[in-house]
Amino acid sequence: MTDLSRGTRGVKKLGQHFLVDRRVLARIGDYASLTGEDRVLEIGPGTGNLTEVLSARAGKVYAIEVDPVLASDLEGRYPNVAVTKGDALKVPLPDYNKVVSNLPYQISSMITFRLLERPFDLAVLMYQREFAQRIVASPGSGEYGRLTLNVSFRAEAEILERVPRTAFRPRPQVESAIVRLRPRKTPIPVDERIFFDLTRALFSMRRKKVSRSLAAANVSSDALSRIEPALLDKRPQELTLEDVTGITRAISGS
């Protein structure tokens, strides 16, 4: 178990919870199928418990840590690890092909979409369990929503395992889950700006029928006429990815 005393200031300031269970750490490395050819991005390395696993298996590790004390402690510890002090939402990202991280949960959504804007082979990411369930939710379920659709537009996601509170120090109030993301090999051929605007409009009125949501978003009557009536009569949480991409094409006229 890693000594966390030097990271106390970071814990208080940022609410960090460090993964210390060696079995879970090893499995994360297994899930990422790392080789010496891999260049791995780690966001929020903290005290370096996962960094140690990654450095032993990958050719290069790029660790981005916002806490200056933790970042300084990590610098120079492993010869193939480059540490960047800064906010992973703002700093330039390096040239990587895999992402393996116990993410800071408060930036889960924002960092996930930043990552999905760039090409990579796969990502193995730790999330709060409820957030992970929203990513992989099925249409019609209570967890299904804009997050589900926006992630699935760019990647295939699966929950690999649930991680208990006891795997962390200090122990968090929530359970966690490990998720693997694989970017789509072929992008969905629709206007992504319209797609993301559409999911925002739909789920801002998730209890209303699709026809009401689109009318409130000022979608033209001409575009509405190109959408299947059965889809207009549904509620947003009942729409599949294919349904939403079909509506996107109707709105764009493609």
- Binding residues for S-adenosyl-L-methionine, as ranges, are 17, 19, 44, 65, 87, 102
Helix, strand, or coil (residue 232): helix
Question: 169 and 4 in contact (C-beta within 8 Å)?
Answer: yes
10 Å Cβ neighbour count for 165? 13
Structure tokens at 164: 């208990």
Structural Rg of the chain based on CA atoms: 20
CB half-sphere exposure, 149, CA atoms < 13 A: 27
Mark the binding-site residues, compressed into ranges: 17, 19, 44, 65, 87, 102
CB within 8 A of 88, min separation 6: which ones?
A: 43, 44, 64, 66, 107, 111, 114
Instruction: With beta carbons less than 8 A apart as the criterion, state whether 67 and 84 touch.
Output: no
Nearest partner of 83 among 38, 115, 51, 118, judged by Cα: 51
Residues 6+ apart with CB under 8 A from 250: 223, 226, 227
CB 171 within 8 A of CB 201: no
From 130, 136, 160, select the one nearest 148 (Cα to Cα): 136
At residue 110, φ and ψ (nearest 5 deg) are -65, -40
